[in-house]
Structure 1
Amino acid sequence: MSNATRILLALVIGLALGIFAAGEVPAIGTQIAYWLDIVGSLWLNGLRMTVVPLVVALLITGIVKSAEAARAGPMAARTVLWIVCIMLLSAIMGAVLTPALLSLWPMPAESAAALRSALTTVPAVAEQPPMRDFLVALVPTNPVSAAANDSILPLMIFTLTFAFAITRLTHEPRAQMAGFFSALAEAMIIVIEWVLKLAPIGVFALAFVVGARSGFAALGAVAHYIVTVSIVGIIVGAFAYPIAVLAGKVGFGDFARRIAPVQAFAVSTQSSLASLPLMLKKSEELGVRETTAGLVLPMAVALLRATGPAMNLAVALYVANWFGVKLDAFDYGVAIFIAALTSMGAVSLPGSVSFVTSIAPICLALGIPIEPLALLIAVETLPDIFRTTGNVQMDVALATVIEAPEKEKANAIS
């Protein structure tokens, strides 16, 4: 049994036992919930302590890798540009689609209220500072202090500046710096994997507390969350079809037929990397030359997670809606920027790891509670199916887009 399955079972069993205890033996249930709340909070703190160092390391290595890829030649540079544009557009779509879906199909008010009261570890939503203070604080006087205080946006601005400075170094010191932060990221991933090994215990504890305090309202809220976030991923992933047809110059029916086996394989493996050999084969069947597919698709697997920004932002906005955090247009702009940036750095991570490292920075920057992420990670297996299928079909669409100008040149010569 995979760890993701164990986590999902822990959520279901914890909710069920919590609901049963609250209904049948409320006095005992309250005592159990008190101690399990401590266990769940300890696990959540273990998860949270990895976020800042891992995000910084991944952001630096992602920028350095992108810069090196762009230096590989004009085709590689165009691929990187397309990847950046797709990630940014994905984040924008997440910012538009999620509020629209929540407006059309809102989370039941009683479920939201029950869950808010159940998660007692969630701090009160702080008021936003005046605009002048916020803007001045964007450039940190002390990046270490920004990291210690979870001031994620100033920290990311410093990290971006530092990462771009590394790309300007000569080869040897650039490789040394990239190697250091790559090793730091790998070490932090090991730590977070240790924490996730304990996730069934932590999720069970938190789920029992939520079930005991919110009853059946928790079940409806979880189902509502899964459907909402999955719809966002499905819509974003579907844009691979018009991109392949309009920019890649391939027929709609042809693209749909070739991509179907890749989608089926992605559903079964939930891995873009494992789907790479089949993506290479189907891209060549769509008329993409082997040399183009061999360059573009590995880069796409390494740097592009098309559904990531939209679905990560959807999770953060869902939690904001759940806890009544009011966001203005500037907040949405910040969220789009962070969602696109962190998703590029987290592409090569396992889904459970990237769920935390990609979404927590958005929440921290906007004052959205991150405590609910500890529960939502338990059901990430279901939306992750749509994440992966959307990613692989966009990867193949990107290969057709990069090949299209080469086809036109060949036709012009002939």
Structure 2
Amino acid sequence: MTSKRGGAPLYAWILLGFLIGMGAGLYVNLYVGAETPWVQSVTDNVTGPIGQIFLKLLFMLVIPLLFSALAVGVAEMGDLSSLGRVGFKTLAFTIVLSAIAVLIGLGMVNAFRPGDGVDPALAQALLEDSREAAGAIVGNAPQSIEAGQFFLDLIPSNVFTAAAENQILPVMVFALFFGVGLVMARSAATDRLQEALQGLFEVMMKLINLVIKLAPIAIACLMFNLAALFGWDLLIRLAGYAAVALGAMAIHMFVIYPLAVMVLAGRNPLKFFSDVREPFIVAFTTASSNATLPIALKAAEERLNLPRRIARFVLTVGATANQNGTALFEGVTVLFLAQFFGVELSLTQQIVVMLVCILGGIGTAGVPAGSLPVVALILVMVGVPAEGIGLVLGVDRFLDMCRTTLNVVGDLVAATVVSRGEKDLPPNAENPGAAEPVPELA
């Protein structure tokens, strides 16, 4: 389902806001000058604060959103005995595939460095402005991370303190443990607690959707500030970023997935892609993993002939937990913006980005622009100006369509791999006559 604003799809308004902000900023950059007093007054008192309000609203919602999504996603796997072999294979494949996706993305960005070449003085000026605007958040972000201390810091001594300080990794680890606890301590009380967490997730998603409706105005303001400062150089960097992101996605889609289907699932990759063409198209056009879930389930059972119980388990969990396309996009975006603003990330910091992207792929909602809060939070973690997210939002719709397609096909690849060697249950055990509702979250 595509959100609409004033009769037009939301992404059309976002694109319009992007173009208006970009055009006005370029005009100011070329014919007026970013240092003109009235321009500085507008950027300091109008466009800057509007963009900051949008970003602060995202930061306000992201912690409860990710906690509830992760905890409920783990809890929905069922009791531990039912998880068994299928749950372990699904989790292991998801982590490995997401890690490969992020590594491809980071490798492409490091190889082609699309964000390099910006005037350091201009980049530093924008960096200083963003640090002042988001000083409280950036001040709590780690400046350097040692490998040993990093693993110790994964375990929060106080999860509320970690959440208050925007330490996303410890909060995610706690959410994962909390979800496992819900699985192990099944009772009427824990079922009600899980329903409450599901309610929290739905409330956060509703609020995120409300905030996203402000995106066209916020993006116009953010892009005006950026374009007025950087001029045409911004367009060149943005084109390079999109090309690198699409190239990394293409490698994962047409190299990694076919290898997994052929080697791990023992199937013909060409026939596999032919069988999943319908969810492929639906995912590309809707940009929503959740909206595509019913079509993916149908393709898995009728075209790929996968066991019903395996397909339903892997695809339903995968709509939230197996989003390697999103993880790849987040890694590429963070490193691109770090290069753009001259923030050098060490190997250890890039490993941290990779881990957060993998976990963020698990916790990201499978709806259009669902990765936006995660990207914004990772930017803060590594000291990159959060305003930089406005750079990518203008082309995010198309990239969102591509990474959602990668996510959905990845879910089907995972279901195919996990199904290898698994026997289907007798018809009466699977109760095919029962019409089990498929959750419609998008």
Q: TM-score, normalised by structure 2?
A: 0.80
Measured on the aligned residues, the alpha-carbon RMSD in Å equals: 3.1
Residues 237 and 379 of structure 1: CA distance in aligned 2, closer, same or farther (over 3 Å): same
The yes-or-no answer on 1:233 pairing with 2:243 is no
Q: CA deviation at 1:146?
A: 2.0
| Runs of 4+ in structure 1 over 6 Å off | 129-133, 407-410
Residues 322-373 of structure 1 deviation map (CA, whole Å, 9 limit, x = unaligned):
333333443333333322222112243x232x22333244334444443322
Equivalent residue for 2:102, pick from 66, 91, 94: 94
Q: Using the alignment, how far apart are the partners of 1:250 and 1:214 within structure 2? A: 50
Amino acid at match of 1:64: A
Residues 63-94 of structure 1 deviation map (CA, whole Å, 9 limit, x = unaligned):
2223x2764465xx515532442234323431
The yes-or-no answer on 1:171 pairing with 2:187 is yes
The yes-or-no answer on 1:25 pairing with 2:32 is yes
Residues 282 and 153 of structure 1: CA distance in aligned 2, closer, same or farther (over 3 Å): closer
Higher deviation after alignment, 232-241 or 8-17: 232-241
Q: Using the alignment, how far apart are the partners of 1:297 and 1:55 within structure 2? A: 20
Partner of 2:118, secondary structure, is helix
Residues 67-124 of structure 1 deviation map (CA, whole Å, 9 limit, x = unaligned):
x2764465xx515532442234323431354244432354340267645544654228
Q: CA deviation at 1:203?
A: 0.9
Counterpart in the other structure of 2:86: 78
Q: CA deviation at 1:29?
A: 3.2
Residues 118-149 of structure 1 deviation map (CA, whole Å, 9 limit, x = unaligned):
46542288742677766655443432222222
Residues 261-305 of structure 1 deviation map (CA, whole Å, 9 limit, x = unaligned):
432332222233333444344433334355554454334334322
- Is this contact kept in 1: 2:307–2:423, CA < 8 A? no
Amino acid at match of 1:264: I
Q: CA deviation at 1:400?
A: 2.5
- Is this contact kept in 1: 2:98–2:323, CA < 8 A? no
Unaligned runs of 5+ in 1: none
Residues 86 and 155 of structure 1: CA distance in aligned 2, closer, same or farther (over 3 Å): closer
The yes-or-no answer on 1:274 pairing with 2:291 is yes
Q: Using the alignment, how far apart are the partners of 2:304 and 2:294 within structure 1? A: 15
Residues 257 and 140 of structure 1: CA distance in aligned 2, closer, same or farther (over 3 Å): closer
Q: TM-score, normalised by structure 1?
A: 0.85
Higher deviation after alignment, 296-305 or 315-324: 296-305
Higher deviation after alignment, 217-226 or 127-136: 127-136
Partner of 2:358, secondary structure, is helix
Counterpart in the other structure of 1:358: 374
Q: Using the alignment, how far apart are the partners of 1:251 and 1:290 within structure 2? A: 21
Residues 217 and 294 of structure 1: CA distance in aligned 2, closer, same or farther (over 3 Å): same
Partner of 2:323, secondary structure, is coil
Partner of 1:255, secondary structure, is helix
- Is this contact kept in 1: 2:99–2:358, CA < 8 A? yes
The yes-or-no answer on 1:51 pairing with 2:67 is no
Equivalent residue for 1:338, pick from 356, 375, 384: 356
Unaligned runs of 5+ in 2: 1-7, 133-137, 427-442
- Is this contact kept in 2: 1:83–1:300, CA < 8 A? no
Amino acid at match of 1:65: E
- Equivalent residues in 2 for 1:14-413, closer than 5 Å: 14-26=21-33, 27=36, 28-34=38-44, 35-66=46-77, 68=78, 71-72=81-82, 77-78=85-86, 81-110=89-118, 114-115=122-123, 117-118=125-126, 121-123=129-131, 127-128=143-144, 137-238=153-254, 239-283=256-300, 284-290=302-308, 292-348=310-366, 350-352=367-369, 354-406=370-422
Q: Percent identity?
A: 24
Q: Using the alignment, how far apart are the partners of 2:147 and 2:320 within structure 1? A: 37
Count of residues in correspondence between the two structures: 405
Q: Using the alignment, how far apart are the partners of 2:148 and 2:167 within structure 1? A: 16
- Is this contact kept in 1: 2:95–2:358, CA < 8 A? yes
Higher deviation after alignment, 92-101 or 339-348: 92-101
- Is this contact kept in 1: 2:293–2:315, CA < 8 A? yes
Amino acid at match of 2:393: I
- Is this contact kept in 1: 2:284–2:401, CA < 8 A? yes
Residues 30 and 78 of structure 1: CA distance in aligned 2, closer, same or farther (over 3 Å): same
Q: CA deviation at 1:205?
A: 0.9
- Is this contact kept in 1: 2:102–2:327, CA < 8 A? yes
- Is this contact kept in 2: 1:41–1:121, CA < 8 A? no
Q: Using the alignment, how far apart are the partners of 1:217 and 1:73 within structure 2? A: 51
Q: Using the alignment, how far apart are the partners of 1:291 and 1:151 within structure 2? A: 37
Counterpart in the other structure of 2:3: none
Q: Using the alignment, how far apart are the partners of 1:142 and 1:285 within structure 2? A: 48
